[in-house]
Amino acid sequence: MGVTRREFLFISGAMGAGLALSSLGVDMLPVVAYAEGLSKIDKVKSAKEMYSLCYHCAVTCGLICSTDTKTGKIINIEGDPDNPINEGSLCAKGAASLQMSARNENRLTRVLYRKPGGNQWEVKTWDWALTRIAKNIKAVRDKEFIVKNAKGQVVNRVEALAHMGSSKLDNEECWMITTAMRALGLVYLDHQARVCHAPSVASLAESLGRGSMTNHPIDIGNSDCVLVMGGNAAEAHPITFRWAVRAKDKGAKIIHVDPRFTRTSAIADHHAFLRAGTDIAFLGGMIKYILDNNKYFEEYVRNYTNASCSIDEKFSFKDGLFSGYDPAARKYDKSTWVFRLDANGVPEKDPTLKNPRCVLQMMKAHYARYDLEKVSSITGTPVEDLKTIYELYSSTGVRDKAGTILYALGWTQHTVGVQNIRTMTIVQLLLGNIGIAGGGVNALRGQPNVQGSTDQAILAHILPGYLKTPAASLTTLDEYLARNTPKTREPQSANWYQNTPKYMVSLLKSWYGDKAIKENGFAYSYLPKIDDGQDATLLDMIDKMYAGKIKGFTCVGQNPACSNPNAGKTRKALANLDWMVHINIFDNETASFWKGPGMDPKKIKTEVFLLPAAAQMEKAGSMTNTGRWLQWKYTAEKPPGDALSMGDILYRLVMKLKDLYKKEKGTFPDPILDLQWNYADVKGMYDSTAVAKAMNGYFLDDVTVGDKSFKKGECVPGFSYLQADGKTSCGIWIHCGSFTQDGTNLIARRKKDDPTGLGLYPEWAWAWPMNRRILYNRASVDEKGQPWDPRRAVLKWADGKWVGDVPDGPWPPLSDKEKGKLPFIMKPDGVASLFGPGLADGPFPEHYEPLESPLSKSLISAQLSSPVIRIFNSDCDKIAGCDPRFPLVCTTYSCTEHWCTGADTRWQSWLTETMPQAYVEISREFADLRGIENGEKVKVESVRGKVECVAMVTTRLRPLKVGGQTLHQVGITYNYGWLFPKDCGDSANLLTPTAGDPNTGTPEYRAFMVNVTKV
């Protein structure tokens, strides 16, 4: 009998079920499996197919959901073979997507309520719960609202309310969250991005101008050399790694640098071990190797980076500190981190790159200390491995080669996370690997819409589209725009952020419509303002919560009781709240913290609302993958029981608040009452398309821009048409252009044309900005507009226009001295930054030890750890570096079968059967020292907490020689928690410290000190 590939997969799945039966002694495999396979094929053939997206990592693979036309229930979920990203393939988690649907009996289906001091959940109605929640919010807001700060500046904020999450939601729901929370006046606003890829945004924005992945997963297949570092792509992002393997099949080399030998290492051509937390030393050595051996792409470096700019004479670096350090304040005065300017106010440049004060020479002097022996001593990586990898990767610094970096949380989750990424970005710029096909700095994000949720700014420090959050000192819109609109005197710089007034005014118009007019600064006063220098990010939020200063807390699709560092502190902090609202598809350790280990429900006053949410296949909307591609998905079945989409929940809650403030008045009600909130359909249900169009933006009046005219009510077809006078609205300027002028949704496109042959697929979905698939792509050509590598031409200037990808700016090549513009258009000076003065911890990356280190002295300078790390001082915040009680370096990571804390995947039997409980990996050498056998129960303990788990004795870890001594490392997964399954173990984050990167506040999860003993 002939079967299709799809039919074969169905029968194969049924064979597994038959095999399970045969293991019980009943050999029904030939009959049952074949019959079940055919039955499933018949059902799926007659089912309705809907496109959806995977709910786990940010590759955001395409799914096909088959829904029974009679029952309306999903009967099968498989990979979408037409989706160019995954081509029908799925990882273990994606393949188990059916168990995320209503078929899973563990799904939340009822509104649950836990009263203060209660020991069980009570079932409530939506109306009861939302009414009570709205009253709770209003009570805290009215009582705790801050009109003016201590300096007398108008801030219109509330600090006693906080929100956390969620990158698990659609873009449209995320935008509604940031909109609603700012209308309420919240400043404590954060989500999963803070604990994962916030350093990517800060680092890449400082270096290149935007904070996102430069290329996209498919483009990895165009590379000649793939460096995987700070991640384990084969296991954490298997579908992305398929493209690396495809590159290898075409002759590319794969390098993996990691504390463990993993499945990525097994496929790589070269693997090198290194000590956790020493990535900057490793990459600093690569920078030295490139510069010392003239491996850099000189034409690219000279024309497209600030390598030729001269640094001020007052700038210096000595004994591990940059000039301007204030030890009392623990921060830098960055006034010396500047360039020398010529008479026109433009940085002085030396095109020969020989001036000792030019960036290239200053950088060469900075990394002169990072010789092979020194780097090996710090990292534990053998010298021969360093030489091999440095030579192989630096060979891509020529016209016809491309090298790419794939990294993940192994770089971001450090107190030097931003500088980890900065160091590799410097490497890529030196080699000319930015803007080209097969190149880039490619962040592999781990949440399904963490790119989108970051774009929508569920974050304290930015507004949608990466506009700056208003500071208290900026009392008017004019002051805000003057501070945050960059200026340049560089004649060939596009300085794209000069358009900030258009984007900011259009955002305010999208939020407040006719209430936002020029005379009131377009309702700028409605926005909550943080004090200058105030930290309102996640670690500070929990610290304030622990101190009892935060009264009410909403948490959506996030599990901070397991995902936050020093999780014991977070759990105690939750017990200090007056009330908490948790919204999710499954129960988790955060929602049920009050009955967790060490908790006495009778003594916990926190009122808890647990609200059942729709999963991804139960609602329509868009999600943005790690490569900035927005894809649209559709509703395949209704949510189970009383569950609602987050869009519906939030729409109803805000309507309740509007009614309350209209009837009862209250403190500063205007931002709530005036908020545009017309996002329901005729049935009163949340309308994701209406929100997506609001995010794209509308013309609010007839407008003519150049030779094009637009009518009131039409969609704005691109952000170049946005206006600063209030005639356009736009909820997030980088999404502008995702709808055509007539309202066609470009996000929903599914055409597979690929004119360049590079996998850009310009008519599949839509990428921000303006459907550009590779950022900074005008750096892929020379000054005449001709591609460095014609075989991989992303762009080419031909017949007076750009051909290929959407160009990063419409201007002609640089050879046109009158109209040509530099390629890094989001930077005021038009070039990428090797010298990056905008960061808190230095303009050049420098190796510092983790806050908890096995060393008492640095091996490269007089400064042990970063002098500007964010640290906390509560009784829970203990640190034990170089302490004989905790002699082992510990790092954390995820396994393929589980997602993050396992809050979703631990409820799926197909996944828990394959990876049922917490484990710690230890080397054979360490196991022999302690007499530990594989599979034995052990206790992993830090100064903050302990976790019992199973010992996995393995050769994937090995002792390293560091500073002349033998050092042991261990690794533990963070995928578990006490709630479910029973006896699976608790969170590894009971061990991790509360310490944050000074630029972003992202915690240190990846390098800290523990001990491991037999139970």
Statement to judge: residues 23 and 56 lie in one domain: no
Does the structure show a pLDDT above 90 at 33? no
The per-residue pLDDT for 7 is 63
Identify whether 404 is part of a domain: no
The 10s digit of each residue's pLDDT in 108-119 is: 999 999 999 999
**Number of CB atoms found within 10 A of residue 312's CB:** 16
**Rounded mean pLDDT, 248-272:** 98
Statement to judge: residues 78 and 26 lie in one domain: no
Does the structure show a pLDDT above 80 at 24? no
The per-residue pLDDT for 685 is 96
**Rounded mean pLDDT, 462-470:** 98
Percent of the chain residues topping a pLDDT of 70: 96
Statement to judge: residues 931 and 899 lie in one domain: yes
With the CA atoms of 248, 252, 253 and 256 taken in that order, what torsion angle do they form, in degrees rounded to the nearest 10?
-60
Identify whether 743 is part of a domain: no
Identify whether 11 is part of a domain: yes
Identify whether 193 is part of a domain: no
Statement to judge: residues 894 and 917 lie in one domain: yes
**Rounded mean pLDDT, 787-809:** 98
> Residue 15 — very low, low, confident or very high, per pLDDT cuts 50/70/90?
very low
**Rounded mean pLDDT, 335-362:** 98
**Rounded mean pLDDT, 574-591:** 98
The per-residue pLDDT for 1 is 47
Statement to judge: residues 23 and 59 lie in one domain: no
Sign of the Cα torsion 826, 827, 831, 832 reads negative
The 10s digit of each residue's pLDDT in 739-748 is: 999 999 999 9
**Rounded mean pLDDT, 648-675:** 98
The per-residue pLDDT for 810 is 96
Statement to judge: residues 898 and 989 lie in one domain: yes
CATH number of the structural domain spanning residue 958? 2.40.40.20
Beta strand pairing status for 801-804 and 795-798? antiparallel
Statement to judge: residues 46 and 8 lie in one domain: no
> Residue 19 — very low, low, confident or very high, per pLDDT cuts 50/70/90?
very low
Statement to judge: residues 925 and 984 lie in one domain: yes
> Residue 10 — very low, low, confident or very high, per pLDDT cuts 50/70/90?
low
The 10s digit of each residue's pLDDT in 963-1000 is: 999 999 999 999 999 999 999 999 999 999 999 999 99
The per-residue pLDDT for 35 is 58
Statement to judge: residues 879 and 913 lie in one domain: yes
* 666 CB-near residues (< 8 Å, 6+ apart): 138, 141, 142, 660
Percent of the chain residues topping a pLDDT of 90: 95
In single-letter form, the type of residue at position 732 comes to I
The 10s digit of each residue's pLDDT in 405-442 is: 999 999 999 999 999 999 999 999 999 999 999 999 99
The per-residue pLDDT for 11 is 54
Sign of the Cα torsion 58, 61, 62, 64 reads negative
Identify whether 571 is part of a domain: no
The per-residue pLDDT for 234 is 97
Distance, CA of 288 to CA of 372 (rounded, Å): 9
Does the structure show a pLDDT above 70 at 20? no
Statement to judge: residues 24 and 76 lie in one domain: no
The per-residue pLDDT for 14 is 46
Identify whether 969 is part of a domain: yes
The per-residue pLDDT for 18 is 37
User: In 854-999, which ranges are continuous DSSP H helix?
Assistant: 909-912, 924-930
Segment holding 289, helix H or strand E: helix 279-292
Between residues 55 and 260, the one the model is more confident about: 260
3-state secondary structure string across 572-592: HHHCCCCEEEEEECCCCCCCC
Give the SS3 label for residue 255.
strand
End position of a domain, from candidates 53, 83, 100: 100
The per-residue pLDDT for 23 is 33
The 10s digit of each residue's pLDDT in 680-725 is: 999 999 999 999 999 999 999 999 999 999 999 999 999 999 999 9
Distance, CA of 964 to CA of 460 (rounded, Å): 44
Query: What distance, in Å, lies between the first and last C-alpha atoms of the chain?
Result: 57
**Rounded mean pLDDT, 81-91:** 97
Domain limits for position 1009 = 874-1014
The total number of residues shown for the chain amounts to: 1015
**Rounded mean pLDDT, 580-606:** 98
Distance, CA of 35 to CA of 15 (rounded, Å): 10
Identify whether 73 is part of a domain: yes
> Residue 45 — very low, low, confident or very high, per pLDDT cuts 50/70/90?
confident
Identify whether 886 is part of a domain: yes
> Residue 29 — very low, low, confident or very high, per pLDDT cuts 50/70/90?
low
Statement to judge: residues 915 and 947 lie in one domain: yes
Give the SS3 label for residue 354.
coil
Statement to judge: residues 906 and 984 lie in one domain: yes
The per-residue pLDDT for 774 is 98
- DSSP class of residue 253 equals E
Report the number of distinct structural domains present in the chain: 3
In 3-state terms, the chain is what percent helix, strand and coil (to 5)? 35, 20, 50
CATH number of the structural domain spanning residue 59? 3.30.200.210
Bridge-partner residues for 921, per DSSP?
952, 971
